[in-house]
Amino acid sequence: MKRVLVFHPERCLMCLSCVLACQLKALGVEDPRDPISGRKPPQRLSMVLVEGTPWASRCRHCLQAPCAEACISGSIVRDEESSAVLHHPETCVGCGTCQLVCLFHALSRDEKEDCMVKCNLCLEDQTPSCVIACQTGALALSSGDRHAQEKKRNYAKEMTGDRGNG
């Protein structure tokens, strides 16, 4: 089933709960009060302000993913079933080529494991931790490209001045 992470900037309060939830998931910690003994998590999701508007900086799971095309070890592959671009850290050599070609700065380096990291949409979980942590619904999980289609329809309406197909 398709899995799409949708971000609604108008709902985001920049509380950073999604970022913390993602970091804890990376460390395998369920509760922030659990001991983490100085470990630092890799960065797979970050929030930035772009001209005053919140923006979730994360992997877009591009249909034609430059990172997958550039990966020299074949560690980044597109999974058609989930429509996700998946990274396999066990074969990643950490060359950083993917980071160079990504237009969205969605990959970072895990210095401890000496490999790259990116959002894999938490396919192993029913709902990603970041979506669970988001209390305003700014991050939502969609099972299809409904949101993209809706945007395209709205854009088309705007362009045609609501004249429809004719």
Partner 1 sequence: MADQEGIRPVGCGYGLLGLCCVSCLRGPCRRSPFDDAGSGKFCGEDSDWIVAHNIMQRVSLESLQTMAAFQNALEQASDPESRKETARLDDMKALLSPFSRGENALPDVLSPEQAFPFLHSMEVPVGSWITTLLDANTERPPEMRSAEAKLVTALRLSAMALAAEALTRELAGSMPEEIDVALPDSPSPLLLLLSDDGGLQDDGRDALMKEIDTACRGEARIYRLPHAALLPSFARRVFAKWGIPVSMTKSIAVVFSSSMIRGLGALALGFSLVSLPGYPVQGSPLVEKYLAQDLKRKFGHAYLTVPPREDLCEAILRSLTS
Query: Site residues (CB under 8 A) for partner 1?
Result: 15-17, 19-21, 23-24, 30-36, 40-41, 43, 133, 135
At closest approach, how far in Å is the CB of 154 from partner 1? 33
At closest approach, how far in Å is the CB of 60 from partner 1? 21
- For residue 57, which phi and psi values (nearest 5 degrees)? -90, 105
- Closer CB to partner 1, residue 30 or residue 111? 30
- Closer CB to partner 1, residue 4 or residue 56? 56
- Closer CB to partner 1, residue 5 or residue 133? 133
At closest approach, how far in Å is the CB of 40 from partner 1? 5
Q: Among 2, 147, 129, 137, which Cα is nearest to 61's?
A: 2
